[in-house]
Amino acid sequence: MGADINFYFDPVCPFAWMTSKWVRQVQAQRDYTVDWRFISLRLLNAHIDYDAHFPPEYEAGHTAGLRLLRVAAATREAHGPEAVGRLYAALGARIFDTAPSPESRADAGLRGTAGFVAPALAEAELPASLAEALDDTARDMVIQAETDEALSLTGKDVGTPILHFEPPEGVAFFGPVISRLPTEEQAGELWDHVVGLARFPGFAELKRSLRERPQLRAFGITEDEVGRQEDWHAGSRRLKK
């Protein structure tokens, strides 16, 4: 039997990480199964001039995400889909739930290095040798295929994460994008509202481009603070539309 939810993620996307934490809350409460699948922001934006359209750190960050997805692909191949969930949890905690070091602030590409991924592999109880996949461009075919798969479910004007409810027949859509982690009591209620919309065959979109910076320590925002609002037009902080 397939999973109850297919969750398409890029490990360097803060909003995918926040949504994944909420989905894990619901997963524990509702005994859902989640298949953690791949969507690469670097491959999504392969046609875009990063220097002209994005803040300076975006290209290095998105490239690091692609490199980490290669490790995730190698993990799934050798250890199965459940291991991908463990690896994503370890990577996300290191990227977003710890205060950034001066080095990581200066170079977003450090996330795509063996030195960064090795502790996450250890935490996920996976072999250190999986870090060798960071440079394995042959795995980009698998990542591209799943990126294309995700877009075939939603259309192309989306970002990460993409959730597919009750696949293969259920509805898939971009998001939900959240900036704050709900309480345990709120998690299930929010989930029920989202699923209620998703199950209506005619549901297409709810959207606003104003977002709070997510409550993540990597952004200098603790769990009891509210981040300032930013306009993420076209789904990102692009310098140009």
Q: Which residue has the tokens 């104003």?
A: 210
Q: What angle do CA 35, 70, 8 make, to 5 degrees?
A: 30
Distance CA 50, CA 206 (A): 28
* pLDDT (tens digit per residue) in 51-61: 888 888 889 99
Q: Name residue 34's beta-bridge partners.
A: 5
AA identity, residue 180 = R
Q: What angle do CA 12, 18, 23 make, to 5 degrees?
A: 120
Phi and psi torsions of 139, nearest 5°? -75, -10
Which pLDDT value is given to residue 10? Answer: 97
Q: How far is CA 88 from the centre of its chain?
A: 9
* Least-confidence region, from 44-53, 77-86, 203-212: 203-212
* pLDDT (tens digit per residue) in 148-194: 999 999 988 888 999 998 899 888 889 889 999 999 999 999 999 99
Q: How confident is the model at residue 108 (pLDDT cuts 50, 70, 90)?
A: confident
Which pLDDT value is given to residue 218? Answer: 81
Residues with Cβ within 8 Å of 94's Cβ and at least 6 positions away in sequence, in order, are 116, 119, 120
- Between residues 64 and 103, the one the model is more confident about: 64
Q: How confident is the model at residue 235 (pLDDT cuts 50, 70, 90)?
A: very low
Cβ proximity of 213 and 232 under 8 Å: no
- Between residues 23 and 241, the one the model is more confident about: 23
End-to-end CA gap in the chain: 42
Whole-model pTM over 0.85 = yes
Rounded to an integer, the average pLDDT of 139-144 is: 97
Q: Prior bond to 119 cis, omega within 30?
A: no
Among 161, 153, 171, 175, smallest CA distance to 9 is for 161
Phi and psi torsions of 182, nearest 5°? -70, 160
Q: Name residue 210's beta-bridge partners.
A: 231
Which whole-number Å values give the CA distances from 207 to 45, 74, 98, 136, 212, in the listed order? 21, 35, 29, 37, 14
**Residue 106 in this model has a pLDDT that exceeds 80:** no
